[in-house]
């Protein structure tokens, strides 16, 4: 990996500025895509408008190839984490219930605040901080228990399918692009 980048990764001051810049670009793109709107997110969860899935799948379609190429040429290193049913499925469902009640997720709620949504600020941001402060208290009781229950059989999809990484990527890309084409075809 280029020495330029490893040096950059360790520069804490520059990384603080980079975090802000990445946030600005991310927030800009979220607003332009429409997903900082409560109405757009709820319409996705009611399955009447698929903007959220279109944005997410387009990001994954492009990013999956981009990151694999960066890795191939030695410029970046993915670090996928292992998971469990107890953590990812149960936590995911709790998150999902909150997602529908609030109508924003942790990223889009910040974007919504930037567009003037008061419910995102005094409801969403305050609620998320409270939920985290509660989780911090609960964490010591569940970290060795339910969070460890049911380890997933593999860390990555290619390990799970026992396939070469590039072949896995080709399959995933075909499935994701096919899903988006199908959505357009049936009129979403």
Partner 1 sequence: MWNEVVLILELLTQATWSPYIAGAGIGILVCLAFLLSNRPIGCSSGYVKAGGLIEKSISPAHAGRQEYYREIVPEVDWAFMLIPGIVIGAFIASMLSGQFQFIIVPATWSATFGNTPVLRIIVAILGGVLLGFGARWAGGCTAGHGISGSIQLSLASMISAACFFAGGIAMAMFLFRVIGGA
Site for partner 1 in 89-118 (CB under 8 A): 89-103, 105-118
- In whole angstroms, what separates CA 73 from the centre of its chain? 25
Identified binder of partner 1 from the candidate list 7, 72, 74, 120, rule CB under 8 A: 120
H-run or E-run covering 155? none
Identified binder of partner 1 from the candidate list 7, 72, 74, 82, rule CB under 8 A: 82
Q: Please, are residues 158 and 164 in contact by the beta-carbon 8 Å criterion?
A: yes
The 13-52 site mask, x for binding partner 1 (CB under 8 A), equals --xxxxxxxxxxxxxxxxxxxxxxxxx--xx-xxx---x-
Helix, strand or coil, per DSSP, at residue 55: helix
The least distance separating partner 1 from the CB of residue 181, rounded to whole angstroms, comes to 11
Q: Please, are residues 168 and 161 in contact by the beta-carbon 8 Å criterion?
A: yes
Q: What is the rounded CA–CA span in Å between residue 35 and residue 26? A: 12
Per CB under 8 A, contacts with partner 1 among 131-170 are 131-140, 142-143, 147, 152-160, 165, 168-169
The least distance separating partner 1 from the CB of residue 186, rounded to whole angstroms, comes to 16
Identified binder of partner 1 from the candidate list 3, 66, 144, 182, rule CB under 8 A: 66
Closer residue to partner 1 (CB): 9 or 178: 9
The least distance separating partner 1 from the CB of residue 63, rounded to whole angstroms, comes to 3
The least distance separating partner 1 from the CB of residue 162, rounded to whole angstroms, comes to 13
Q: Which are the contacts of 112, defined by CB distance < 8 A and separation ≥ 6? A: 36, 37, 38, 104, 120, 124
The token pair at 150 is: 């049911």
Q: What is the rounded CA–CA span in Å between residue 19 and residue 21? A: 5
Residue 173 as a binder of partner 1 (CB under 8 A): the answer is no
CA dihedral 3, 169, 83, 72 (to 10 degrees): -10
Q: How many residues bind partner 1 (CB under 8 A)?
A: 128
């Amino acid at each position: 990996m280029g020495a330029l980048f490893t040096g950059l990764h360790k520069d804490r001051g520059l990384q603080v500025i980079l975090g802000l810049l990445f946030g600005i670009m991310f927030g800009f793109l979220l607003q332009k895509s429409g997903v900082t709107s409560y109405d757009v997110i709820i319409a996705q969860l009611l399955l009447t408008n698929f903007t959220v899935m279109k944005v997410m799948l387009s990001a994954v379609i492009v990013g999956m190839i981009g990151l694999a190429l960066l890795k191939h040429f030695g410029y970046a290193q993915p670090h996928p984490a292992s998971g469990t049913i107890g953590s990812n499925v149960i936590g995911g469902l709790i998150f999902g219930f909150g997602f529908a009640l609030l109508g924003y997720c942790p990223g889009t709620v910040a974007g919504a605040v930037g567009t003037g949504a008061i419910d995102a600020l005094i409801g969403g941001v305050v609620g998320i901080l409270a939920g985290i402060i509660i989780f911090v208290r609960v964490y010591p009781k569940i970290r060795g228990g339910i969070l460890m229950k049911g380890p997933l059989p593999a860390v990555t999809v290619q390990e799970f399918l026992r396939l070469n990484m590039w072949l896995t990527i080709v399959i995933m890309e075909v499935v994701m692009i096919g899903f988006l084409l199908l959505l357009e075809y049936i009129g979403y």
